[in-house]
Structure 1
Amino acid sequence: MVLLLAARSRSPWRLGGSLRLFVGDDWAEDHHDVEVMDASGGRLARARLPEGVAGMARLHAIIGDLVGEDADEVEVIVGIETDRGPWVGALIAAGYTVMAVNPLQASRFRDRLGVSGAKSDAGDAHVLADMVRTHAHELRTVAGDSARAEAVKVVARMHKTMIWERTRQTQRLRHALRDYFPAALVAFEDLDAPDTLELLAKAPTPAQAARLTVAQISAALKRARRKDVADKAARVRAALRCEHLGQPDVVTEAYAASVQALLAVLTVLNAQIKALNGQVDAHFGQHPAAEIILSQPGLGSVLGARVLAEFGDDPHRYASAKARKNYAGTSPITRASGKKKVALARFVHNDRLIDALTTQAQPALLWSQGARAYYDRHRARGAGHNAALRQLANRLVGILHGCLKTGTHYDEATAWRGPAQPSAA
């Protein structure tokens, strides 16, 4: 049931003295608790709306009932703890200004309004409405990324998710083999490689593996396009026939059944990762900024797609290179108290983006003399490898920002001239 606390015939700015309406939207999987607030903090409406078209229509009706005939003069600002999905897209399409609020921010803001620890969905909607009313200037507006950038984000994120999942399943396989079949860990270096999966599926127990012939092992290596097949086959066969501690037969059979399940999962993951890799290439290659991103040192199509996906392509989202660096999480934070002042790495960041940027920095050391000199300069000052690599990633974000702003490709001389160059000493 919708509760309207303002007379239907009156305009919101006459009630609150403002040309703005502030909406807090606490979302769940099947419903949204919303509260509409005026500029003075007065509650104009509160409702629980169903997810989907019906709920969005009711929200529009509530807003329309409040603004009356002055809809074109009113700005509606919505605070919600997400920046994606059909509901957010519909809010933006309706012309509302949507602020993506970090759940941690909302939690801390809630503590300012009360110390009892009480929490409810309706109360969270009130907190979000009050946040966008008083702190809209400090919150992030949901970026207006293009549909093509959104498509890149969808496939790039799923591709990376599949890789992370493969790593998890590979670790499970490693732990199982260590418990009953340690010879396999000596014989096979890459547990998620096609030849390893094929041979383990054919011989999941130590006794079966010891009976594998050189011809069988060589055939699997050839299908996986390995080099030095003869030497590798002999080495694998020797490792599988070495004596190791084992488990009773009944336990070994149980482990073998478990390993067979893991091998099937890894085989499917490998196939889907390969398929998604093609999708990432296809979508990223069609984006207008692809050539500029690919011109950056250390970025290929997959890594470049991840960087584009997480930064987005809204040209107005980052006012400066510093803003992009802060969002990336590569720039340090400063803690100062009295005479003590320290610079620390940011631990609250977009995990996918920071992973892509630090991954870029490593090969950039080989492909860019400027990047190498910049890294060496920080190492000479006493920074560790990870700290120096993070500083390099931060610098590369600034370079990327400049290239995207000006629409120019990366140029080694331009990127590292001036302060970026190490001193002659």
Structure 2
Amino acid sequence: MKAFHISNFAALIGIDWADQKHDICELNRQTNKQHLSIISAKPTAINAWAMSLKEKYKGQPVAVACELKKGPLIYALSKFEHIVLFTINPSTVAKYRKAFTHSGAKDDPTDAAIQVELLENHMSKLSVITPDTEKVRYLTQLVEYRRKLVQDRVNLTNKITTTLKNYYPHVLDWFKEKDTQVFCDFILRWPSLEQVKRARKQTLVDFFNQHNSRYPSVNEKRIEAIKQAEPLTTDKAIISPNLLLVECLTAQLQQLMLAIERFDIEIKTIYKTHKDRFIFDSLPGAGPQMAPRLLAAMGSNRERYQSCEEIQKYAGIAPVTERSGKKKWIHWRYSCTTFLRQTFVEWAGQSVRYSFWAKAYYKQQQEKGKPHNTIIRAVAFKWIRILFRCWKTCTAYDESKYLEALKSKGSPLLKYAVESKF
């Protein structure tokens, strides 16, 4: 990635953003004078301010620092070629402020000035926001939003389960999966035990057949359980409010499932057109859900990461080592992109089922008494090294070639697999 120096810029600017307005500190490098100002957070004001910088500095590049990586302000400024965006961790500004302001007082213009000072003295240590291709950025937004919708689905099914336990717990035994169309339709048609017990056997059979639940033995068990079920309570003061809530939540769940399906279709459409998809399709356990997320995580810019260690740290997979005197301890990396860490960890968990070496490594660590989450993070750590090399060289992953490489290096992992007849 291109390295920047303050000599590359006509001005250094810090922005302390807010919902309604943005405080700005501007350092003109030619006159070495600072100027404080405030602009509205409306698009018109941001665009006008950005164009005024272009006119003022005659199109020369200006460095703009902000405590954001994405959001309306970043989206608005990214389209201007004369603006180079630097991102600063909010905690960095807070700690820098506290180092010289012991009272802990916070002031927006002061924070903007601190960002300028960080740009001036530590530009080489700051990250530059370099937009990827439009297709990758589009895919990144889609997979992130889909993951949030999936979590919303989990939360919603948990609420439905909790509510049903208050008056109608039987249905939870009849349907193991709650995020299905057959479950939602069943609840909306028969939202209480009293109503479903009044249904005729043939009506229930037809319902299950219409929802492709055509196993006679399963349907017979369900129908028999329905007819023999005894109510948890007959108190209308309990049943009626919970019934109403379940109907509302179930309707929300139906719409949420439809939304996820729409996202799946759009993600698949965009992913299929990307030239690097063959790399991610070759990864064990990636599948139609994880492969697009991994592509979005790596991006198309091969200069974005110079080593696998950069990805391991940025994704929060690499642990942090701390030392003080004679003490040394290792802990979880707190500062990272959560979604990125989820992507690599979830993929690592899936790969254990499909990759020989990953499964062998998991068993080996399990025998050593390591907990599941620790092992999966270690698997993700190893996978990032492999993925980085495949991504950097535009090469599809080949399990047989990787196992041959492990064999040629005398890997103890393969020796363990052979000895344990894995």
| Offset of residue 127 of structure 1 | 2.3
Report the counterpart of residue 157 of structure 1 in structure 2.
Answer: 144
C-alpha contact 2:9 2:63 (8 A) present in aligned 1: no
User: What per-residue deviation string (whole Å, max 9, x for no partner) do you get for residues 68-118 of structure 1?
Assistant: x6x54xx52211122234642453432322112222333223222312222
Report the counterpart of residue 379 of structure 2 in structure 1.
Answer: 392
Q: Which amino acid aligns with 1:47?
A: S
Report the counterpart of residue 7 of structure 1 in structure 2.
Answer: none
Report the counterpart of residue 174 of structure 2 in structure 1.
Answer: 187
CA distance in structure 2 between the partners assigned to 1:105 and 1:292 by the alignment: 37
Q: Which amino acid aligns with 2:208?
A: L
| Offset of residue 20 of structure 1 | 5.1
The match for 1:61 among 52, 58, 65 is 52
User: What per-residue deviation string (whole Å, max 9, x for no partner) do you get for residues 171-224 of structure 1?
Assistant: 111111111212222222122211111111111112112223433333333333
The match for 1:23 among 6, 13, 22 is 13
Distance 1:164 1:41, change over 3 A: farther
CA distance in structure 2 between the partners assigned to 1:173 and 1:41 by the alignment: 64
CA distance in structure 2 between the partners assigned to 1:43 and 1:376 by the alignment: 63
Moved more, 344-353 or 396-405: 344-353
Report the counterpart of residue 288 of structure 2 in structure 1.
Answer: 301
Moved more, 289-298 or 110-119: 110-119
C-alpha contact 1:325 1:331 (8 A) present in aligned 2: yes
Report the counterpart of residue 359 of structure 1 in structure 2.
Answer: 346
CA distance in structure 1 between the partners assigned to 2:30 and 2:379 by the alignment: 46
Report the counterpart of residue 204 of structure 2 in structure 1.
Answer: 217
Q: Does 1:281 align with 2:268?
A: yes
CA distance in structure 1 between the partners assigned to 2:16 and 2:67 by the alignment: 7
Distance 1:19 1:203, change over 3 A: closer
C-alpha contact 1:34 1:46 (8 A) present in aligned 2: yes
Q: Which amino acid aligns with 1:422?
A: L
User: What per-residue deviation string (whole Å, max 9, x for no partner) do you get for residues 239-294 of structure 1?
Assistant: 33422432511331121111111111011111111121111100111112211111
| Offset of residue 17 of structure 1 | 8.9
Distance 1:307 1:220, change over 3 A: farther
The match for 1:119 among 80, 100, 106 is 106
Q: Does 1:170 align with 2:161?
A: no
Report the counterpart of residue 79 of structure 1 in structure 2.
Answer: 65
Report the counterpart of residue 233 of structure 1 in structure 2.
Answer: 219
C-alpha contact 1:99 1:139 (8 A) present in aligned 2: yes
Q: Secondary structure at the match of 1:331?
A: coil
| Offset of residue 398 of structure 1 | 1.4
Distance 1:116 1:60, change over 3 A: farther
The match for 2:133 among 103, 125, 146 is 146
User: What per-residue deviation string (whole Å, max 9, x for no partner) do you get for residues 330-388 of structure 1?
Assistant: 11111223333233232333222222222212231222112222323333443222111
CA distance in structure 2 between the partners assigned to 1:395 and 1:35 by the alignment: 44
Report the counterpart of residue 420 of structure 2 in structure 1.
Answer: none
C-alpha contact 2:10 2:30 (8 A) present in aligned 1: no
Report the counterpart of residue 26 of structure 2 in structure 1.
Answer: 36
Q: Does 1:379 align with 2:379?
A: no
Aligned-pair RMSD on alpha carbons?
2.7
Q: Secondary structure at the match of 1:422?
A: helix
After TM superposition, the runs of 4+ consecutive aligned structure 1 residues lying more than 6 A away are none
User: What per-residue deviation string (whole Å, max 9, x for no partner) do you get for residues 24-77 of structure 1?
Assistant: 112233432211136799652221122314323224424643x4x6x54xx522
Distance 1:212 1:231, change over 3 A: farther
Distance 1:275 1:17, change over 3 A: closer
C-alpha contact 1:297 1:367 (8 A) present in aligned 2: yes
Report the counterpart of residue 403 of structure 1 in structure 2.
Answer: 390
The match for 2:318 among 316, 331, 336 is 331
Distance 1:336 1:96, change over 3 A: same
CA distance in structure 2 between the partners assigned to 1:397 and 1:275 by the alignment: 30
Distance 1:370 1:213, change over 3 A: same
Report the counterpart of residue 269 of structure 1 in structure 2.
Answer: 256
Distance 1:311 1:423, change over 3 A: closer
Q: Secondary structure at the match of 1:190?
A: coil
| Offset of residue 227 of structure 1 | 5.1
Moved more, 248-257 or 54-63: 54-63
Report the counterpart of residue 9 of structure 1 in structure 2.
Answer: none
| Offset of residue 132 of structure 1 | 2.2
C-alpha contact 2:142 2:267 (8 A) present in aligned 1: yes
Distance 1:36 1:196, change over 3 A: same
Moved more, 336-345 or 274-283: 336-345
Q: Secondary structure at the match of 2:415?
A: coil
C-alpha contact 2:54 2:82 (8 A) present in aligned 1: no
Q: Does 1:96 align with 2:83?
A: yes
User: What per-residue deviation string (whole Å, max 9, x for no partner) do you get for residues 136-191 of structure 1?
Assistant: 22222113311000110122122222111111111111111111212222222122
Q: Sequence identity, in percent?
A: 23
| Offset of residue 313 of structure 1 | 2.8
TM-score by length of 2: 0.87
Q: Does 1:252 align with 2:239?
A: yes
